[in-house]
Amino acid sequence: MPKGKPWPKADVKKLTNLVEAKQFLDVIDKEFPQYSEGAIKKKCKRIGLEVVVRVSGISKTTTSELEIPKELPSVEETLKILAGALKMASKPGLDKIEVHRLQVVATLAKTYKELLADYVNYREIEKKLLELDAKYAKLIEQTG
């Protein structure tokens, strides 16, 4: 349930028009002094709008949804991404944003490896439990 007061329809319409006109968040923020920047981002997300922000001269959307893959990437695919990040990180002259992005890639790769190992272990446990369940059902059938 959203906190605070509901936005008037006129404000929602104005926000929608500004976002659809590809206005940057800092411009939109000035049009709505009664709302915080965070409130504007949340409202955009709730109504399915992607607001554009400027980060060091680069335009980025802030409310786009994550694309969830249908299949998990293999360990080999993940290692290739990590190897690419390692190769890129060794280049001289990277700016702070690029270094930060590469640090995020490395952290995500490490996390993915750990979670994938857990997932594989859980799948093995699940398989063994199903086998035991089938054996138990067979035993009950034989004794009953």
CA–CA distance, 89 with 84 (Å, rounded to integer) = 9
Q: Tens of pLDDT along 30-89?
A: 999 999 888 888 888 888 888 877 765 555 555 555 567 788 888 788 888 888 888 888
Are 25 and 37 within 8 A, CB to CB? yes
Write out the DSSP string of 37-78: HHHHHHHHHHTT---EEEETTEEEESSPPPPPPSSPPPHHHH
User: Does the pLDDT value for residue 25 go beyond 80?
Assistant: yes
| Domain boundaries defined on the chain | 9-61, 75-143
Predicted pLDDT at 56: 58
